[in-house]
Amino acid sequence: MNKTVNINLGGMFFHIDEDAYQKLNRYFEAVKRSLSNSTGKDEIMKDIEMRIAELLTEKNRGEKQVVGLKDVEEIITVMGQPEDYRIDDEEVAEPAYNFSRRRTKKLYRDKDNSMVGGVLAGFGHYLGIDPLWLRIIMVILLLGFGTGFLIYIILWILMPAAITTTEKLEMTGEPVTISNIEKKVRQEFDTISEKFKNVDYDKFGNQARNAGERIGSSLSDVLLKIFSIFGKLIGAFLVVVASATLASLVIGFITAGSFSMVDFPWQSYIDNFTDVPLWIVGMLILIAIGIPFFFLLILGLKLLITNMKSIGNPAKYTLLALWIISIGTLVALGLQQATEVAFDAKVVQKQKFDLNPKDTLQIKFTYNDYFAKSIYDREDFLFAQDSAKTMVIYSNNVTLRILKTDEKTPYIQIEKKAEGKSFAAARERAEKINYGYKFKGNQLLLDNYLLTDSKNKYRHQKVEIFLYLPEGTYFKPDMTVQNYDHTDNGFFDLWFDSDIYIYQMQSSQVKCLNCADVHGEGEGEVWIDEEQIAREAEQEARLEVEREMQRQNIQNGQNSSTTVTINDKSVQIKKEGTEGPQGNKPKGLKMDKNGVIIKNN
């Protein structure tokens, strides 16, 4: 039975058996001896400890709790023996060594070669390309589409910075060995030393003795303070906006979830557009919009709180994966909804009707007072309950066109149209449209609405009415027709001033018989309906004759005649001497073949 030892390695605690501990301790002592003359010895040892702690953590995942001798030997094999990597002032050839597996690159932000946050420099290492090209692409996104800023901010939050030597080696894909760690540390020290060597100390001393240097220092402090305050303000703004947005999204999601359990006024409209439950759609929207604002909230807090800890890479990558999944799902739902209206189809109903050529066809639209308050109330589509309390879709998407036919009998053609994800689905949906009309004497009564069951969903259902009339047919549209007439004005220009206008179907177009001639009407001109005046004059003449006969006292047996002039028209009244039963002619009025009204006494 081996004893176990608790050790702190690279800031992490491990349970390690005594043999493994002794071997690991000897390994560290050997490494220290090999680095006795190296610059940055402490930094190198710290990085080596952190790397070994990382490898031990990977090996102890799962149920295993104690680090054994075999684990330590495998780690030493990966890291390499100290005596193999002694680096003095002169360069030596890289010895050959074997690794159990080749390490891949990890994505970090390269702050050492950064221009802003090191995101693009880190991607350059990861992809093996010059960061300059990535920076050019980012500038194009910023100027052309405006999305580059948001993408950069999200990546800045998600990507950790390469701080330790191990992380910097992982970023470039180099093996994390003692040799590479020492080389990296020496390179950093050499870079810093080179910068100090290039300093012009004389010039610096002169500037230090210059009083203006103190002013510049004060000015820089002021500028730094201003930028710090400005950063705090931006952070506060981001926190307020992100918090308000996240709160609204959460409240909306909870509300949508509660609505899914009970009926609410907009439920039919939601169900009309998708079969996916409302709470799922709400959750997808919450994730798709909420995660970017969550990272903006974290960024704002980091600007306000200098030493704020990160939420950790696992949380970042998990949220990123959820965001990508939600965006993809919403796009898929959008594409599915687009396919619901990809095809359109129609069904046609045709009915002939009898109309006396001398009669005038009266055309009128009627409304359903169960769904509307007047004929002028119009809805593109509306979910409502009918009198049987069945949910239906109500729509005023109805149009009328009046056309000429060469057939002798007029007819009406009803075309019901709808859309669907296939031609068959669109046709089936069109067949389920309910639309009504009827003939009542010489009246054509048309519904100004259509109905369909809510299960059929609204997919731009509409009804188009085509009224075909033979040449010479008279018709009179009601005032209600003006809201639904879609006839070409070049063929039939409906007058909306009055509903007494009578139209006639002629060979090339429809003509109004009692409308003013718009093209000939000018200032000071008066339009006169001569036919109407003639009919009124004839009726007035008949009445005047009857009144005149009552006023006259004509002797029996005498031949006489009377001429009455009304409205510049003469009516001659004669008395003939034909004997009646008592020697008189029969009394009464009659009209001869010349249109003369005759009264017999």
pLDDT at residue 147 greater than cutoff 50 = yes
Distance CA 156, CA 238 (A): 15
Tell me: do 335 and 232 sit in the same domain. yes
Output the CA–CA distances (angstroms, integers) from residue 180 to 109, 170, 172, in the order listed.
20, 11, 11
The last residue of one of the domains, among 339, 371, 398, is 339
The pLDDT, as a whole number, for residue 379 is 79
Find the range with the poorest average confidence among 91-95, 268-272, 302-306, 493-497. 91-95
| 597 backbone dihedrals φ, ψ, rounded to 5° | -80, 130
Residue 514 near residue 528 (C-beta atoms within 8 A): no
* 452 strand-pairing partners: 393
Q: Is residue 310 part of a domain?
A: yes
CA 128 to centroid of chain Cα atoms: 39
DSSP code for 392: E
Q: Do residues 366 and 503 both lie within one domain?
A: yes
Enumerate long-range contacts of 375-379, CB under 8 Å, 24 or more apart.
375/448, 375/480, 375/483, 376/483, 378/483
462-505 confidence digits (pLDDT tens) = 999 999 999 999 999 988 898 899 998 888 887 766 678 889 99
Q: Examine residue 97 and state whether it is found in any structural domain, yes or no.
A: no
| Alpha carbon 535 to its chain's center | 64
Tens of pLDDT, residues 404-419: 999 999 999 999 999 9
Instruction: Output the average pLDDT for the chain.
Output: 75
Quick one: 222 and 357 in the same domain?
Answer: no
Is 523 a member of any domain?
Answer: no
How close are the terminal C-alpha atoms of the chain, in Å? 154
Q: Is residue 41 part of a domain?
A: yes
What pLDDT score was predicted for residue 93?
A: 41
Q: What is the mean pLDDT of residues 351-377?
A: 88
Higher pLDDT, 16 or 554: 16
Note the pLDDT tens digit of each residue in 84-108: 555 544 444 444 444 444 457 788 8
Instruction: Note the pLDDT of residue 99.
Output: 42
| Residue 425 and residue 330 share a domain | no
Residue 572: pLDDT over 60 = no
Percent of the chain with pLDDT over 90: 18
Confidence of residue 54 (pLDDT cuts 50, 70, 90): confident
- Of 62, 85, 108, which closes a domain? 85
Residue with the bigger pLDDT between 522 and 592: it is 592
What 8-state DSSP symbol labels residue 105?
A: P
Q: Quick check: is 179 in a domain?
A: no
**Domain-ending residue, one of 85, 120, 154:** 85
What is the rounded average pLDDT of the residues 268-290? 77
**Please, is 322 exposed, middle or buried when counting C-beta atoms within 10 Å of its C-beta (0-12, 13-18, 19+)?**
middle
**The domain containing residue 34 runs over which residues?**
4-85
Residue 583: pLDDT band with limits 50, 70, 90: very low
Same domain for 367 and 488? yes
Are both 575 and 508 inside the same structural domain?
Answer: no
- Predicted pLDDT of residue 348: 94
| Cα separation values, 215 from 210, 218, 219, 220, Å | 10, 5, 6, 9
Q: Verify that 332 and 368 share a domain, yes or no.
A: no
DSSP-derived secondary structure letter, 408: S
364 and 316 together in one domain: no
Q: Are strands 66-67 and 12-17 parallel, antiparallel or unpaired?
A: parallel
Task: Name the nearest CA neighbour of 497 among 483, 482, 484.
Answer: 482
Other beta carbons within 10 angstroms of residue 396's beta carbon come to 24
CB 424 within 8 A of CB 411: no
Does 259 share its domain with 300? yes
pLDDT at 255 over 80: no
Question: What is the band of 326 on the pLDDT scale with cuts at 50, 70, 90?
Answer: very high
The predicted structure's pLDDT at residue 475: 92
Residue 437 sits in the same domain as residue 559 = no
Q: How many domains does the chain have?
A: 4
| Cβ contacts of 121 within 8 Å, gap of 6 or more | 109, 110, 113, 114, 115, 131
Let me know if residue 189 belongs to a domain.
no
DSSP 3-state of 399: strand
* Residue-wise pLDDT tens digits, 1-12: 667 888 888 778
Do residue 410 and residue 310 come from a single domain? no
Confidence of residue 160 (pLDDT cuts 50, 70, 90): confident
Q: Are residues 275 and 409 in the same domain?
A: no
In a domain, 304, yes or no: yes
State the pLDDT confidence band at 217, using cuts at 50, 70 and 90: low
